[in-house]
Chain A
């Protein structure tokens, strides 16, 4: 598996590790800080927003892999079935990574994509729990929460995305990344 990472056209382990560490910090912040805010309508999902931003910047491979690792960590920290958020986050990371080309064209694209990723991810969580017969909320509530998560994600994306872009450029270091 690691020879895939080492090849030239793919990603470097350092990027994945940095992404996973950042998302793990977001994991704790999400349950200890964001979940306590009691925002109207629902809450924003810090982990999904960061994951979508990372996948937009670094591509589908980093998105899928860091999403999977953090998903497993989130599952281990929770009391639901192991692997369900790993599945959702892995898919979100991959799918968002696929449109990374489009993100360079316009400022609106990252906003829409990050908002859409939060919406779909929240819906995905609800869907997978109901498939497993452990539905935590009704369909209407799930949709409402997903919409709220999407709106909040669009609101905080302008702050998160440029920061991550800068960090990514710095992490890339000498690599000729600025040319893009």
Chain B
């Protein structure tokens, strides 16, 4: 029963043909959240939202299950009280953490004068682990539209790639299809940051080949019609194209993908470009090393302090 029979081979061949057909048909067309995809997105998004709401305070669920409602004697009542207090402590920790994240996010948004819609991450990636996306619990009804910038307290998270009524899919900056205009700190030099190197590395390409990118340079978003300017992206860790014109570099993003929780969607642009205001103040370099560095390469970023 169920072994490698002619029938089962027939079935698998049919299924493979369907799979290849789907891939071929879908590869050429855009992949927006409409039609069947939209339905699945909104249904699963709702379920994911529910699951996250249930599993978030884990300690709470566990302790309330472990102590059913029985008031027969004093020991039970005390155990009940104990469980309730424990639950309260767990809740307090959760609330404190969340409020800190929220205030950090608020602080960053105020610095850049962004109008943000806060949202929680309710699903990470997809089941294959090859999609660099997260799903958040804010959607069209909250004012989120496609292509808006998403940030958290540390910096740039990504951009909105699809929205349903109550959820949205955010394409992370490290997605291979992601390409975001970036500007080097304290200069007006432009480039683009692209993903595809895994979650903790971005590739920065400088458009002006005459300028040397240096290790430690920081990047903010350039901004365009949809994307806002001035959101911190990351710091250059390695200049990859050393021999030639130093146009590409590896960038370590400020945002850690693994711990994403509270994010903000920037729904309206600030009246003026915030520049580098959002980057945290750089600690002063130790004095002995400063001359050696400025002698090695022309570094306008280090010479000009303003």
Contacts and interface: CB of A to CB of B under 8 A. Distances in A.
Contacts of A43: 129
Q: In terms of DSSP, what is the predominant structure of the interface of chain A?
A: helix
A126 B131 CA distance: 10
Interface in A119-156: 122, 125-126, 129, 132, 134-138, 141, 145
Interface in A74-94: 74-88, 90-91, 94
Interface residues of A, number: 65
A125 B7 contact: no
Task: Give the interface residue-count category, chain B.
Answer: 35 or more
Interface stretch (B39-47, B86-94, B205-213, B227-235): B39-47
Contact of B126 (A36, A64, A80): A80
B130 A74 contact: no
Contacts, number: 185
Interface string B65-82: 000000000000000000
A60 interface: yes
Interface string A46-90: 010000000000111110110010011111111111111111101
Contacts of A73: 40
A143 B258 CA distance: 19
Contact of A79 (B7, B8, B133, B197): B133
B23, B27, B41, B125, most chain A CB atoms within 10 A: B23
B198 interface: yes
A86 B21 CA distance: 11
7 nearest A-B pairs in the assembled complex, by CB-CB distance: A59-B2, A83-B22, A78-B126, A82-B26, A35-B124, A31-B123, A87-B19
